[in-house]
Amino acid sequence: MSRMLQNLEKQGLIWREKSEKDAREKHLRLTEAGEKLNVSLEEKANQRILGQIHGISDREFLVLLDAMEKIERIMGKPVEETK
């Protein structure tokens, strides 16, 4: 993970700052270039999704939407700590 973050930082896509409360903690922020790239990637992803769902029936769309909502609920749950 740290190498990936270092690479993003070298590319000028993110910057890190140390936490004022905890020196071990770092806050990550997108740079202006990182924000632009993020917007571009979101637009491309949205276009791809629209292309994939084009032509499916209303019933299939509702089934897909229901499945996506279930995934979101499951993924949104906090991960329980293992002992």
Identify the burial level of 5 via C-beta atoms within 10 angstroms of its C-beta, where 0-12 means exposed, 13-18 middle and 19 or more buried: middle
Question: Chain-centre distance of CA 33, in angstroms?
Answer: 17
Query: What is the tens place of the pLDDT at every residue in 7-40?
Result: 999 999 999 998 888 888 889 999 999 999 999 9
Query: What is the tens place of the pLDDT at every residue in 36-67?
Result: 999 999 999 999 999 999 999 999 999 998 99
Q: How would residue 1 be classed by pLDDT, with cut points 50, 70 and 90?
A: confident
Looking at residue 82, what is its pLDDT? 40
CB contact at 8 A, 60 and 54: no
Domains of the chain listed by start with CATH number = 2-75 (1.10.10.10)
Residues in a beta bridge with 15: 29
Tell me the C-alpha distance between 40 and 18, whole Å: 28
CB contact at 8 A, 30 and 14: yes
Overall pTM surpassing 0.75 (yes/no)? no
* Residue 83, pLDDT above cutoff 90: no
